[in-house]
Amino acid sequence: MSNKSRFIRRSLVLFLIAALIAVMPPTDAFARHVKFKQKDSMAGSFDGPDRFNCYWIEIEEIHQYVCAGANRAFLLIDALAPGANPPNPKVVSDLAIPDKFSCRYTGDPAGNRSVELFSCTYRHKHSRRGTMHTHDFLLSAAVLVALKHAPGGKTLPDIWVVPHPVNDIADRVGAVADSHSH
């Protein structure tokens, strides 16, 4: 398949996903805890809207977060750039892929749009029958990873995943305090 036809196909899929996201009712996420082959980098910069929602999509060639905000859709992998430093293993000891999460910029509109100023949240259950609770995190705590076992044995591009906050706050240097309530 040529690069042009891949681009057209990817654009069409993104358009259809954006249309679906626009009409999807909000649902509670059941975050999947998965094993990763490699943890490459923490988030470094973000080129996207001030408010957005991201949805985990696994269709065709897309196994990524598709996000929508400010009347546009985008892949998180395209808008969130990796930083220069690898993640601290203590900070990213537990990661999750929630079905959806939301972020909003909390800084000065005229100021620096740093990833540390994007506050994000997702609702989560520890089991299908568990109590629903909320996890808050900063977009800067997202981690670029490679999957250990790609679905269907396919080779997939790296993906951004979000923290599943751990109980030991002292180990979470630079991360937002957990609003974890059972």
The tens digit of pLDDT for each residue in 48-105 reads: 999 999 999 988 767 889 999 999 999 999 999 999 877 776 656 678 889 999 999 9
Residue 47 pLDDT > 90: yes
* Structure confidence at residue 8 as a pLDDT band (50, 70, 90): low
pLDDT confidence of residue 52: 98
DSSP string for 35-58: -EEEEEEEEEEE-S-SEEEEEEEE
Mean pLDDT of 166-182: 38
pLDDT confidence of residue 30: 41
Confirm whether 179 is domain-assigned.
no
Residue 22 pLDDT > 90: no
Domain of residue 140: give its range: 3-171
Confirm whether 180 is domain-assigned.
no
Confirm whether 78 is domain-assigned.
yes
Residue 125 pLDDT > 70: yes
pLDDT confidence of residue 124: 80
Confirm whether 92 is domain-assigned.
yes
Residue 38 pLDDT > 60: yes
Confirm whether 182 is domain-assigned.
no
Selected residue with higher pLDDT from 78 and 133: 78
Confirm whether 159 is domain-assigned.
yes
Helices (H), the chain: 3-23, 76-79
pTM confidence score: 0.71
Domain count, the chain: 1
Confirm whether 177 is domain-assigned.
no
pLDDT confidence of residue 1: 56
Question: DSSP assignment, residue 5?
Answer: H
User: What whole-number distance in Å separates Cα of residue 79 and Cα of residue 67?
Assistant: 9
Confirm whether 19 is domain-assigned.
yes
* 8 Å CB contact between 178 and 61: no
Question: DSSP assignment, residue 142?
Answer: -
pLDDT confidence of residue 102: 97
- Using a pLDDT cut of 90, give the percent of the chain over it: 31
